Amino acid sequence: MKKYILLLALLLSSTTFAVEPKFNDNFKQTKNEIETSSPGKIEVLELFWYGCIHCYSMDPYLDKWADSLPDDVVFKRVPAIPRKSWVPGAKAYFALETLGLEGKLHEKLFDAIHKGKDVDPNNEAALISWITLNGKLDEKEVKAAFNSFSIDTKLKKSYKIFKEAGATGVPTIIIDGNYMTSSTMAGGEKNAIDITNYIIENIRNDRKKTSE
């Protein structure tokens, strides 16, 4: 029931953004509710793929937005896996997390793929070599991170999120497990951020009302 109360609030909101959001046009409900892992917070997920030029374009906007999040919002990246060929890129992201290098090398890996054209995002060996070199690590350590049990678990979860959300491409932004938008749906990267903020504000207001 809460989900439909919130939907009504979203449709009636008078909040003004660069784009006046339209339900089922600029944002929509997820196919199924996605379980969140941040109790008491509004969780925002970005489904992305390193080989996607649109994800590369979206990344700076999300970085800037994530730098000034309010205390009640949590942002997480999730590598999408709609097909088997995207698995190496997903493993690369999770390996960076495992090795404590996501903050240092995530953006640089995007640059290497799209700007420098130095890395094939579908080639696991090439990704391992790049992370080894740029992370100044032993290759065995990087390979171990790529093939750990924990990464296998994360890959299965990523696959499930993409499928359960009903996403059809990347980048897709999922808000609070119930709503999603994208730069394509929103009409640009900045608009996608505006609409994400719009949905967050309505979720926040809805929670305040239900707690009164």
pLDDT in tens, 51-77: 999 999 999 999 999 999 999 999 999
The CATH class, in words, for 2-211 is: alpha beta
C-alpha to C-alpha distance for 175 and 8, rounded to whole angstroms: 16
C-alpha to C-alpha distance for 154 and 93, rounded to whole angstroms: 11
Do residues 154 and 102 make contact, with C-beta atoms less than 8 angstroms apart?
A: no
pTM here is 0.91
Domain locations in the chain as residue ranges: 2-211
Do residues 25 and 185 make contact, with C-beta atoms less than 8 angstroms apart?
A: yes
Q: CA quadruple 44, 47, 51, 54: dihedral positive or negative?
A: negative
What band does 176 get if pLDDT is binned at 50, 70 and 90?
very high
Cα angle 169, 186, 205; round to 5: 110
Q: Which residues contact 53 (CB under 8 A, 6 or more apart)?
A: 114
Strand positions, DSSP E, the chain: 28-29, 42-48, 73-79, 172-175, 179-182
Residue 3 clears pLDDT 80, i.e. is over it: no
Does residue 171 have a cis peptide bond before it, meaning omega lies within 30 degrees of 0? yes
